[in-house]
Amino acid sequence: MSKVATRFAPSPTGALHIGGVRTALFNWLYSKNQKGTFHLRIEDTDKERSKDEYKLQIIKSLKWIGIEHDGDEYIQSTKINDHIKVANELIRNGNAYKCYCSNEEIEEQKKRAKQKKLPYVYNRKWRDLPESDAPDNIKPVIRFKSKIEGSSTLKDLVQGDIEIENNTIEDFIILRNDGTPTYNLSATVDDHLMNMTHIIRGDDHKINTFKQMQIYVAMKWTLPSFAHIPLIHTIKGKKLSKRDNASTLDDYSKIGIMPNALRNYLLRLGWSYKDKEIFTLEESIEHFNLEGIGKSPSKLDMSRILSMNEHYIKTINENELYIQLVQYCELFKEKIEADKEEKIKHSLIFLKNKAKTLEDIYNNAKYIVLSKVDFDKNDLNLIDAKAKTIISEFKNNIKILKVLNKETLEPIINNLIKAHKTNFKGIGQPLRVALTGSKFGPGIYDIIISLGKEEVEKRLSDKVLA
RNA sequence: GGUCCCUUCGUCUAUCGGUUAGGACAGCUGGUUUUCAUCCUGCAAAGGGGGGUUCGAUUCCCCCAGGGACCGCCA
């Protein structure tokens, strides 16, 4: 048996969709599991909507999540002549024909079908009409001569055998009247030219597969294996579309979801391996198989994505996490200056305990990242006269400390609690606000220690004087 | 409407005829705790309905219901 080759074939007409990412992931994992190759084909034949920037963005997104294709990307538009050749060959061998129906004629048929509440199927008018009957004012389209009798079976690797009556497949157009090929022709010819052994794609392509299988047969090409994976649905149970929010990769990366977490989530969405939930990239390659793909569509669940991300935040090492944070902040927040690296890296150990996303980490680390703290007016009001006294006393008390750590700070705080007949909150809250500008955030000891003595004194002075 | 697909806790899923139907996320308890969290206990939560086959069905078959996809000279 030949080496497994799979492909992902997006059209560059928009940002990469999370459903597409999962399809790409499954294709990639399957090929890697089988020690085969994975290819990227850009289906850019829709000239109106295809954009180069989208192509670049697709490649970048795939790379972001850990998928890299083998070889160069295959650009469909450069192969149009091959597609046309096949169309002509199909006419020659009697498997396709020119259809001279006018637009009006087709529209009329569609309208009539609609009125009778019947499905529209092209009436195969020109299937057997001689070329001599052709009107000279109409440019023909080329239609594939679909089988009318009997039925066809698709041996789907995920869904099992699917049988369909041949007469439900119409004589679909393979060449438009401007001479350009349509999707079903192009995709089939390309898959053949690229020597694809496994076509793994969304459920929504099932009907196309029946059309494409007929082209393979008509051209006497070897049929690849097909696997149709269930679609991802929105929480409302509908097919996910680009119009839904939180549907593109960017939607996730911008809120600080890490690639590995999303990859892991997507892997487990519609696929399972026993009770295992967490898969490193290597493990996912090792265990991935087509048998583990479920048959029913699955709903996107944000809370799971978040908790997966949280898991990765908590378990990857601080250096790795810091790298991710820096990249994230540079892209979506403030750039982290190099001189902040030490402070932030050391703080990660407590920052990550309260974060589900990189954005959470950023928010909780803002007091370190930004040199100047923004104060909310309501929070500022918390620093009243009494608070100022406390802050000022605290500041005086730490002056004599050589090192700031929990052991040295705790007695000071405890004394203040006693002196002011208050509780920990009574001391901690004003200090927290003065130091970070927020009522919420890391533990007060963590804040003080991470900021360092000099910075603490500076920030406290500002508040007392204010 | 036609064709095809799907159906286990709210969600993702395990089970490949015999289980107290398991896990994870979310939810809710209780505990630890300096805010918010984290962490640790525990609880609750599922086989759409009806027929078969079988000693025994979530598991196999059929019917129904519900949901979904497709039905472009888009890909």
Give residue A37's Cα distance to chain centre.
Answer: 21
pLDDT at A231: 95
In window 182-201 of A, residues with CB < 7 A from nucleic chain B are 182-184, 186-187
Residues 6+ apart with CB under 8 A from A425: none
- Which string of DSSP letters, residue by residue, matches A375-410? --HHHHHT--HHHHHHHHHHHHHHHT-SS-SHHHHH
CB A30 within 8 A of CB A200: yes
Tens of pLDDT, residue by residue over A231-284, are 999 988 899 888 787 789 999 999 999 999 999 999 999 999 999 999 999 999
| ipTM metric | 0.95
In window 29-58 of A, residues with CB < 7 A from nucleic chain B are 43, 45-46, 49
The answer to whether A164 CB sits below 7 Å from nucleic acid chain B is yes
Identify the helix (H) or strand (E) that includes residue A80: helix A80-92
Low-confidence ranges of chain A (pLDDT < 70): 1, 464-466
Classify A442 as helix, strand or coil. Answer: coil
- How, if at all, do strands A37-42 and A74-75 pair? parallel
> Among A6, A7, A10, which residue's Cα sits nearest to residue A57?
A10
Q: What is the torsional sign of CA A249, A255, A258, A261?
A: negative
What's the CA A150/C1' B61 distance, rounded, in angstroms? 25
pLDDT at A427: 86
| Number of C-beta neighbours around residue A267 at 10 A | 25
Alpha-carbon distances, residue A129 vs A22, A93, A327, A430 (angstroms) = 46, 16, 64, 89
pLDDT at A420: 86
Give the residues across from A199 on adjacent strands: A226
For residue A239, is it left (φ>0), alpha (ψ between -120 and 50) or beta? beta
What's the CA A113/C1' B2 distance, rounded, in angstroms? 11
The answer to whether A407 CB sits below 7 Å from nucleic acid chain B is no
The answer to whether A100 CB sits below 7 Å from nucleic acid chain B is no
Tens of pLDDT, residue by residue over A214-231, are 999 999 999 999 999 999
In window 129-148 of A, residues with CB < 7 A from nucleic chain B are 141
**Maximum Cα interatomic distance, chain A, rounded to a whole number of Å:** 107
In this complex, the residue with its CA at the shortest distance from the C1' of nucleotide B69 is A204
Chain B: bases < 7 Å from a protein Cβ: 1-8, 10-14, 22-26, 34-39, 67-75
pTM of the model: 0.94
The token duo for A237 is 């149970």
